[in-house]
A and B are shown apart, each in its own frame.
Chain A
C-alpha cells in the first residue's frame, strides 16, 4: 500500500466533498451559468495550485508530469468529457467521491467509466494511437511554446482568474422559482 498516495487522496476526496465540487447539483449550476459557487472554487483551486507549483519550481523541488499536447486527441477528449460532465455533473474524481457519499447515480456513472476505460483499451491500438499522432506537439509547456516567461504566464493567469471571480461575484443570488 502506498501511504502517501492514500493520504493525499484522502485529503483531496474530503476537500472535493466539503467544497461542493463532489456535488452534481453545484457542477450543473456552474455549467448552466446560474450558480457560480463551483466555478469560483475551481478558479481558486487552479490559481493557488499554479502559484504554489511555480514557487516549488523556483525552489527546485517541484515534481512535474506534463501531458503531451496531442491537439486533436486532447480536443476530442475534452469534448467527450465535457458532454458527460454536462449530462451528469460528475467527472472521474467527483464521481468516485459522490458514490462514496451515498449517491447511487454516481455509482452507476462510475460503472460507465469502467466501460469507457475498457473501450479505450480496445480501440487504443487501432484508433487512439493514430488520433494521438495528429498535431502532437509533445510534452511542452506554454512558456516553452510562446517564449514568454513563466512569471508573465502565472501572473497573467492570476489576473484572468481574478477577473472570473469579479465577474461572478454578483451572481451568487438565488434564482427565482418559475
Chain B
C-alpha cells in the first residue's frame, strides 16, 4: 500500500484560507454568516410535510417557516454543490472514487466497510450538527467570526472527539505530497 500518496490540493493553505475568509466576509456583509446543515432538516421537513401534513403542522420545529421554505440557505447549499463540481471539473480533478487513501492505508480494500462507516458517520455528523445548532461552517467558522459563546464548547468537543476517533480508526500514517 506504500504507493498510495495523497495529492497536494490545488491551492496552498494561505490562499485557500484567505479565499474562504473573504467569502465569509462577503456573506456577513450581504446576508448572514455561512451555514450548511440546517438545509438537511429543511429537505426532510418538506418530505414529512408531504407525507404526514398533520404531524408537520404540529411539530414545534419543522412547522416553523424557516424549515418550510427553500430560501437563501437552501440556494447556498445548491450553489456549494455546483461550485465544488465546477472547481473539480475545471481543475481536472473530478474522479469517481469509492474510498480514501487513509482508509486504504489502514483498513485495506474493503469498499463496503468504508461506505457503511461513511453512512454511520454522516448520521452522527448531522444529528450532532443540529444538536449543536450548527456544523463546522455555521457553528465553528461563523461562531468564531462572531465570537459567540457557543463556539467554545463546540470547538473543544468537536476537535477532541474528532482527533480521538481519527487516531482509533486510522492508526497508521498515510503518505502525502509535501
B-binding residues in A (CB < 8 A): 1-26, 28-29, 31-35, 37-38, 40-53, 56, 61-71, 73-106, 108-121, 124-125, 128-129, 131-132, 137, 139-145, 150, 153-154, 157, 172-175, 177-178
Which residues of chain A have C-beta atoms less than 8 A from B6's C-beta?
A: 25-26, 29, 35
A-binding residues in B (CB < 8 A): 2, 6, 8-11, 13-37, 40-41, 43-45, 48, 59-62, 71-88, 91, 93-102, 114-115, 117-170, 172-178
Q: A67-B133, A142-B147, A172-B178 are in contact. List 20 more A-B contacts (CB 8 A).
A: A9-B83, A13-B85, A18-B19, A20-B8, A25-B101, A31-B159, A46-B141, A53-B146, A63-B31, A77-B131, A90-B122, A97-B80, A97-B81, A109-B122, A116-B125, A116-B126, A117-B37, A118-B44, A121-B44, A121-B61
**A103 to B45 CA separation, bound complex (whole angstroms):** 26
**A117 to B77 CA separation, bound complex (whole angstroms):** 15
Which residues of chain A have C-beta atoms less than 8 A from B156's C-beta?
A: 75, 78
Which residues of chain A have C-beta atoms less than 8 A from B20's C-beta?
A: 12, 15-16, 19, 21, 41, 44-45, 48-49
Could you tell me if A105 and B9 are in contact, using CB atoms closer than 8 angstroms?
no
Could you tell me if A87 and B147 are in contact, using CB atoms closer than 8 angstroms?
no
- Known contacts A52-B21, A69-B149, A141-B149, A100 near B88 by CB under 8 Å: yes
**A40 to B154 CA separation, bound complex (whole angstroms):** 19
Which residues of chain B have C-beta atoms less than 8 A from A40's C-beta?
A: 13-14, 17
Which residues of chain A have C-beta atoms less than 8 A from B74's C-beta?
A: 2, 5
Nearest A residue to B165 via CB reads A86
Q: Which of A1, A56, A87, A154 has the most CB of B within 10 A?
A: A87
**A22 to B87 CA separation, bound complex (whole angstroms):** 11
- Known contacts A92-B36, A93-B137, A16 near B84 by CB under 8 Å: yes
Nearest Cβ distance between residue A2 and chain B, in whole angstroms?
4
Could you tell me if A13 and B93 are in contact, using CB atoms closer than 8 angstroms?
no
Could you tell me if B29 and A178 are in contact, using CB atoms closer than 8 angstroms?
no
Partner of A48, one of B24, B40, B124, B159: B24
| Selected A-B contacts with CB under 8 Å, 13 pairs | A6-B82, A9-B79, A9-B80, A9-B83, A11-B23, A65-B35, A67-B150, A73-B131, A84-B128, A98-B84, A101-B88, A102-B94, A103-B97
Nearest Cβ distance between residue B92 and chain A, in whole angstroms?
12
Could you tell me if B176 and A174 are in contact, using CB atoms closer than 8 angstroms?
yes
Which residues of chain B have C-beta atoms less than 8 A from A125's C-beta?
A: 59-61
Could you tell me if A29 and B174 are in contact, using CB atoms closer than 8 angstroms?
yes
Could you tell me if A80 and B128 are in contact, using CB atoms closer than 8 angstroms?
yes
Could you tell me if B84 and A96 are in contact, using CB atoms closer than 8 angstroms?
yes
Which residues of chain A have C-beta atoms less than 8 A from B133's C-beta?
A: 67-68, 70, 73-74, 77
Q: Which of B31, B35, B133 has the most CB of A within 10 A?
A: B133
Nearest Cβ distance between residue B3 and chain A, in whole angstroms?
9
Could you tell me if A4 and B41 are in contact, using CB atoms closer than 8 angstroms?
no
Could you tell me if B13 and A44 are in contact, using CB atoms closer than 8 angstroms?
yes
Nearest A residue to B29 via CB reads A56
